[in-house]
Amino acid sequence: MPVFSLDPAQNSWCDELRAVAADHLRPLAEKGEPGRINRPLVAALGDLGLLSRMLTAGALDLCLLRESLAHGCTEAETALALQGLGSFPIVQAGTGEQRARWLPEVAAGRAVAAFALSEPGAGSDAAALALDAVRDDGPADGPGARWLLTGEKCWISNAPEADFYTVFARTTPGAGARGITAFLVPADRPGLTGAPIEMLSPHPIGALAFDAVPVSGADVLGEVDQGFRVAMNTLNLFRPSVGAFAVGMATAALDATLVHTAGRTAFGGPLKDLQSVAHQVAEMATRTEAARLLVYAAAEAYDSGAPDVPRRSAMAKLFATETAQYVVDAAVQLHGARALRRGHLLEHLYREVRAPRVYEGATEVQRTIIAKELYR
């Protein structure tokens, strides 16, 4: 499939998703409490089959899902994305037992997942994480091995209310990225506590405290000391789709701006007849389309197994999130004071659009990845 166009079936699916997001999911989102998991919304995503599709989607399908939902309901998009981020380590590296226990629950919207990588001292530099996994009974790996997790995680989406966490901990001190293991940790494990963090955007984020939380070989995702690869494989898939989320928000802002500037009268005519306004809208549209194409190209590279996925994923995430910030800000400027009123679409998007430039690798980190890949 050419990366510069979608086929009619894909376009129809995206239109359907936009309508479902606006008409069915938006009312559920509006009943939710900011900063808390909206379980009826998550359940609705399960009932609609969207979580099942997300778990089996390729990168392009995931991007179309996120872009389309973001256009009509950012909360629904985020709820779906967080389910994917927290559960994809199980999809790619889980045992049969782990998959059978958790993936049907995630797909149905009954269990909420979380991806626990960041720490107070290890955000963008994920390889520097310090959550300790200390051997509890002997050196052997395998199902009988046991560890105690001690330390903190911070900025974890869906914490502290998630039902399980994919947790990345240091099993070999001093080994950098090669000494990290991924664990599947149910929320009811003894010693695991958490607290919410109030953020600018309304989705749930919190901190986790691990006080000798017991895990065993049966909880390991993939192989011992190979968890960093699990994390990076997850991020390589989800980084382009963060870009898709951004494109969905930019498109919603652009659509609102087209309606407003065509209908709003000032200085003797509609705003769209002012060259300064028309050129601004043209720039917004061009950057949004360029971001969309970068996202689709990165998704196509991932799905085809291309060798340059890290570079393309970083480029898509970088450009799309920066573009969305520009487009939403420009849309607010063209709408004037009404766009800053609480409850206005653009006021909502203005709060939502800032975080994607930071999470899953800040803009500066994406530039570092791109440069390393170029010089490799």
Question: Are the beta carbons of 179 and 172 closer than 8 angstroms?
Answer: yes
Going by the DSSP 8-state scheme, the letter that residue 159 receives in this structure is T
Collapsing DSSP to helix, strand or coil, 274 comes out as coil
Per annotation, catalytic residue among 67, 119, 322, 360:
360
Are the C-beta atoms of 165 and 156 separated by less than 8 Å?
yes
Q: What is the DSSP string of 8-70?
A: HHHHHHHHHHHHHIIIIIHHHHHTSPTTS--HHHHHHHHHTTHHHHHHH--HHHHHHHHHHHH
Q: Which residue(s) pair with 168 in the sheet?
A: 182
Q: CA nearest 229: which of 156, 360, 126?
A: 126
Backbone angles phi, psi at 109, to 5 degrees: 80, 20
* 114 beta partners: 165
In DSSP terms, 333 is beta-bridged to none
State residue 121 phi and psi, 5-degree precision: -110, 10
Please classify residue 97 by burial: count the beta carbons closer than 10 Å to its beta carbon, then call 0-12 exposed, 13-18 middle and 19+ buried: exposed
Decide if 360 is catalytic: yes
Strand partners, 323: none
All residues at 6 or more sequence positions from 259 whose CB lies less than 8 Å from its CB, including other chains: none
Which residues in 128-143 are b (16+ Cβ under 10 Å) and which e? Answer: ebebbbeeeeeeeeee
Active site residue ranges: 360
